[in-house]
Amino acid sequence: MKMLAIAAAATLSFSGAAAADEIADAYKAQCKGCHGAEGKGDTKIGLKEKVEDMTNPKWQASNTDVQIKNVITNGSDKNPKMKAFKTKLTPAQIDGLVAYVRAMKAS
pLDDT at 16: 60
Q: Provide the CATH number for the domain formed by 2-102 in this structure.
A: 1.10.760
Supply the pTM of this predicted model.
0.82
**What DSSP string runs through 9-24?**
HHTSSS-SHHHHHHHH
- Contact status, residue 61 vs residue 101, Cβ threshold 8 Å: no
Which long-range contacts does 60-68 make (Cβ < 8 Å, 24+ apart)?
60/102, 60/104, 65/98, 65/102, 68/98, 68/101, 68/102
Cα gap 63→105, rounded to integer Å: 14
pLDDT at 103: 92
The distance between the two most distant Cα atoms of the chain, rounded to a whole number of Å, is 36
- Contact status, residue 9 vs residue 26, Cβ threshold 8 Å: no
As averages over each run of 10 residues, the pLDDT of the chain (107 residues) reads 52 61 92 96 96 96 97 93 94 93 82
pLDDT at 53: 97
Query: Domain-by-domain residue ranges, the chain?
Result: 2-102
